[in-house]
Amino acid sequence: MASITIRDVKKSYAKMQVVHGVDLDIASGEFVVILGPSGCGKSTLLRMIAGLEDISGGEIAIDGTVVNKLEPRERGCAMVFQNYALYPHMSVAQNIGYSLKVAGVPAAERTQRIQAVARTLELEHLLDRKPMALSGGQRQRVAMGRAMIREPKVFLFDEPLSNLDAKLRVQMRSEIRKLHRRLNATSVFVTHDQVEAMTLADRLVVMNGGRVEQVGTPAEIYSRPASRFVATFVGAPAMNILEGTVELDGLSLLGGSRHLTMARAGLPVGTKVAMGIRPEAVRLVAPGTAGALNATVDLVEELGAGRVIYVDLDGASFSVMTSEAVHPEPGSAVGLKISPDDLHFFSSDTGTRLEVFKASVPEPAL
């Protein structure tokens, strides 16, 4: 168990900078998930913690010791790779025990520890098999076993579930979570899958373009996204964003076709803002209901438990998620009811959250 401190860490390849000064504190025993789209630098950051990539600038410390110059084996990290990276010519037992063999642990103790790990992961009957003869989920478990046996200070996961089918992914997700609860080892888990991120994380780090956008619990990130990027990246379907301009008595939306009355909260008239609302926060009502927006249905996506209804709002596409048993026909008119508490505002220029607005929103008269 160990804490990880990341201070202004940068990474450049030749002339391209891919990580721009990341600061992050990970407490001992915490399960941190780094979430972001492909190419956002999340894997690079993980690999820098592991020691597989050189650190171009800044400092990474594990348990207070700066590890910038240490070899991977000296850092006390274990890593689970996306493609598992099992040694194809070794049996499951040899794969799991390889690090102990390298470390010169006597054969008897090695066998004993391999047995213990195999018991935990229910791999006992597979110990003599080669990786080629294993299913995806079993390979995944062997990769976990290989990481566990070293009793590392830190577990690093590099998108380990992305090669599994949907059902197995859900199962492995809960297994990883259970395992973490039992071992209580500091874990850093990288993924681009937001469901994985939300379900696994004690704390979530959302990255974009080599920068940290927001750090917080999954609930915080969902309910108070710090930027427009986080707002649209976390949550499915994505948050609806309507561009608007600050006016004397509120907000002009959709190029002036709709108006939202509210206090101006110190923002100068003419400031461009983006208003966000989650599809699941919108309620469908009969068209023409007082205080509701009128829109036309474009498309209905049936999800079984609920449905996503895409509507046309003066030319802008807008999605609504509902669990009610309503099935509006495409082309029919619907009313959309929105509660002011569910509105999010972001600066159009920088994309950062504008907190001042939210507090002062009265009943919107759309």
Partner 1 sequence: MVERTPFLNFFTHVILFVGFVLCIAPFAVVAIAASHNLKDVNDVPMSLLPGSDFWLNIKTAWTTADLGPKLLNSFIMAAGVAAGKVIISALTAFSIVYFRYPGRTFIFWLIFVTLMLPLEVRIVPTYAVVANVLSPYQAILDVTGLSWLIEKVSGVQVSLSLGLLNSYSGLILPLIATATGTFLYRQFFLTVPDELTEAARMDGAGALRFFVDILLPLSRNNMAALGTIMFLWAWNQYLWPLLITTDQSHATAVTELKQLIPNVGGIPEWNIAMAGTLIVMLPPLIVVVLMQRWFVRGLIATEK
Using CB under 8 A, list all residues that contact partner 1: 50-52, 71-73, 77-79, 81-83, 85-89, 98-99, 102-103, 146, 150
Q: Which amino acid is at 1?
A: M
Judged by beta carbon, residue 107 or residue 195, the one nearer partner 1 is 107
Nearer Cβ to partner 1, position 54 or 355?
54
Q: Closest CB to partner 1 among 16 and 102? A: 102
Q: How far apart are CA 169 and CA 163, in angstroms?
A: 9
Residue 258 beta carbon to partner 1: minimum distance, rounded to whole angstroms: 52
What stretches of 186-253 show up as alpha helix (H) in DSSP?
Answer: 194-200, 218-223, 228-233
Question: Phi/psi at 138 (nearest 5 deg)?
Answer: -70, -40
Minimum distance of partner 1 from residue 4's CB (angstroms): 16
Is residue 243 within 8 A of residue 253, CB to CB? The reply is yes
268: its two tokens: 């100068």
User: Between residues 77 and 204, which has the closer beta carbon with respect to partner 1?
Assistant: 77
Shortest reach from residue 87's CB to partner 1, in Å: 6
How many whole angstroms separate alpha carbon 93 and alpha carbon 241?
Answer: 52
Task: Determine contact, residues 207/289, Cβ cutoff 8 Å.
Answer: no
83 or 257, CB closer to partner 1?
Answer: 83
Q: Tell which residue, 213, 224, 214, has the closest CA to residue 357.
A: 224
How far is residue 272's CA from residue 286's CA, in Å, rounded to a whole number?
31
Q: Which residues contact 289 (CB under 8 A, 6 or more apart)?
A: 335, 337
CB of 116 to partner 1, least distance (A): 18
- Per-residue b/e over 91-106, b at no fewer than 16 CB within 10 Å? bbbbbbbbbbeeeebe
Residue 167: CB minimum distance to partner 1, A:
24
> Between 106 and 304, whose beta carbon lies closer to partner 1?
106
CB of 164 to partner 1, least distance (A): 16
